[in-house]
Structure formats: structure tokens, C-alpha cells
């Protein structure tokens, strides 16, 4: 793109010089001016694309709700550091057994629990809870995209290693229901299938982001994602609680072993405004 910019600028200069000094009897001056203006316009477009590419590639620090754009991947590269267990946390490793005299609290969840869109991992709620309760040992078993089945697999994998759970706080979202709703599985698959950039749309951060934003507006899989969540919430897989703003999913117990469990299942109803203060922008 940079070479194209330089080439377009050089051709513009040559066209202007040709129109001013050379072969006026062969080619009218206005033709040269038109060509020069076209080349100058191309150069300005190239410079604009180059500047946008530099900004989106190196300076824009943003996530997207679907975690599929190049900009989002760059954000992960900057802020998403994993420990030895493959979990995002400041603790380099989780011990199998809690320290003597300490109660262990385990937060189990998906991207919300892992801190999607939060640059500093110490600013997510689990780490804030850890900072306020130094007498407790707080671990976070969470990853973006995890669903109910992934929660179960995680518990089983850690249990096989001899991990002592203590109290488990399960933070599940409205879209963590693909294991009990085949329609939701098809819907999430449509989102992935509808976004398959290739060539320059995949390699360019700027064009990849513009392509993503276009899909959000034009693709039914992206555009109707929120409506799909509402339909799933009103389906047979969930039930209304006494709190009019809360739903809870019905599913089998997370484990039959000695795992203490607390299921946090308070969800925001579609259309309700609940303020959330983070340190990064999330769009989509």
C-alpha cells in the first residue's frame, strides 16, 4: 500500500509535468489535468487506507462481542495472558490443594468471568473479590466461548488431577445453553459461517474490521443474534424465578463428586438498562 501511494504520487507529478511542458499539440492540457487529478485522488485514498491500517493494526485497542475480528485478536495478544493451567489470571499456577487455613473460592464461567473487554485482569470482578478477601484463595476457571458442556469438562478434568474445589460459583450467561438447545447450536454456527474473510479482508486489520461491521448490519446471523437470545430465554430450557428480572437454566448437577456449588443465575432481561463500568470498549 505504501509503494502504491508513492507510485501514485510520482505518476501525478509526471502527468502535471507532461501537461505543463510537453507535447501540448498532441494532448490537450485539460486531459493531463484530469489524469493528474485522478492519480492524486488515488494517492489520497491510498494514504488514507495506509493511515487507517496503521491505526487499526497498532493503536486501536478494542474488542468485539463475537471475538472474531483481527482487531479483537490483537487485543487478546496484548492483554490476554494465560497461566500454566491455560487460564487467564495473574496467578502463574493454581495449586491442587488450598493453602492451610484458607477457604478456596472457584469462579467458573465463560468470557464474562474471564474478563472479555477488560484490559487489566485485576479489574475483573473475580480479581476484585480476591483483592478484598486476602484470607481466601480465589481461582478463576473461565474462558471465552465456554458453554455448559465446557463447564462440566473443566470440572471433570481438574477433578481427575486431584484438584480440591472448595466453593464453586457458576456464572452462566443467557447464551450458555447450546447443550440443551439444538436451535442455539445452529444459530451460533451460522454466525461463524457467515464471517469467513479471505485475502486482503483477512490480512488487513482495517478492511477486516469494516467487513465485520458490514456483517453486523447486513447478515441475519449477526443482526438477529439478540432476538435469538430472547427466543431462547422464553423457550422450554429456562424458567422464570420470583425476581422478574431473573431467569435460571434447568440442567443436570455439575458433578456428583464432593464439589460445593453456588449457581449465580441472575440475568439481565432484554431491553433493561444496567450500567457496567469497564476499562475497555466492546462493540458489536
For the whole model, what pTM was predicted?
0.73
pLDDT for the residue 272 = 39
Per-block average pLDDT, block size 10, for the chain (284 residues)? 61 62 59 78 84 94 93 96 96 95 94 94 95 95 90 93 93 75 78 90 95 92 78 60 43 40 40 36 32
| CA pair distance 283, 112, nearest whole angstrom | 14
pLDDT for the residue 247 = 41
pLDDT for the residue 258 = 41
pLDDT for the residue 141 = 97
In the chain, DSSP assigns E strands to: 63-64, 103-109, 136-142, 167-171, 238-240, 247-249, 260-264, 282-283
Question: Could you state, in order of their start, the residue ranges of all structural domains in the chain?
Answer: 2-58, 63-283
Largest CA distance in the chain: 96
pLDDT for the residue 117 = 93
| CA pair distance 15, 6, nearest whole angstrom | 14
Amino acid at each position: 500500500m505504501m509503494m502504491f501511494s508513492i507510485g501514485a504520487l510520482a505518476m501525478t507529478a509526471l502527468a502535471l509535468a507532461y501537461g505543463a511542458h510537453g507535447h501540448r499539440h498532441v494532448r490537450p492540457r485539460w486531459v493531463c489535468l484530469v489524469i493528474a487529478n485522478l492519480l492524486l485522488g488515488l494517492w489520497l485514498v491510498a494514504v488514507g487506507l495506509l493511515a487507517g491500517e496503521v491505526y487499526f493494526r497498532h493503536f486501536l485497542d478494542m474488542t468485539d462481542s463475537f471475538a472474531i475480528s483481527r482487531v479483537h485478536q490483537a487485543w487478546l495478544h496484548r492483554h490476554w495472558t494465560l497461566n500454566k493451567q491455560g487460564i487467564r489470571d495473574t496467578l502463574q499456577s493454581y495449586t491442587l490443594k488450598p493453602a492451610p487455613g484458607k477457604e478456596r473460592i472457584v469462579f467458573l464461567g465463560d468470557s464474562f468471568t474471564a474478563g472479555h473487554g477488560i484490559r487489566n485482569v485485576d479489574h475483573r470482578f473475580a480479581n476484585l473479590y480476591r483483592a478484598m478477601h486476602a484470607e481466601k484463595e480465589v481461582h478463576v476457571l473461565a474462558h471465552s466461548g465456554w458453554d455448559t458442556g465446557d463447564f462440566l469438562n473443566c470440572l471433570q478434568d481438574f477433578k481427575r488431577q486431584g484438584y480440591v474445589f472448595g466453593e464453586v460459583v457458576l456464572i452462566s450467561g443467557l447464551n450458555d445453553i447450546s447443550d440443551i438447545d439444538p436451535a442455539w447450536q445452529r444459530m451460533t454456527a451460522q454466525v461463524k459461517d457467515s464471517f469467513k474473510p479471505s485475502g486482503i479482508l483477512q490480512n488487513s486489520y482495517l478492511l477486516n474490521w469494516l467487513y465485520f461491521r458490514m456483517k453486523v448490519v447486513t447478515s441475519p446471523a449477526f443482526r438477529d443474534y439478540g432476538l435469538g437470545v430472547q427466543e431462547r430465554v422464553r423457550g422450554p430450557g429456562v424458567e422464570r424465578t420470583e425476581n422478574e428480572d431473573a431467569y435460571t437454566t434447568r440442567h443436570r448437577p455439575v458433578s456428583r463428586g464432593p464439589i460445593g456449588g453456588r449457581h449465580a443465575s441472575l440475568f439481565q432481561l432484554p431491553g433493561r438498562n444496567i450500567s457496567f463500568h469497564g476499562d475497555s470498549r466492546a462493540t458489536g
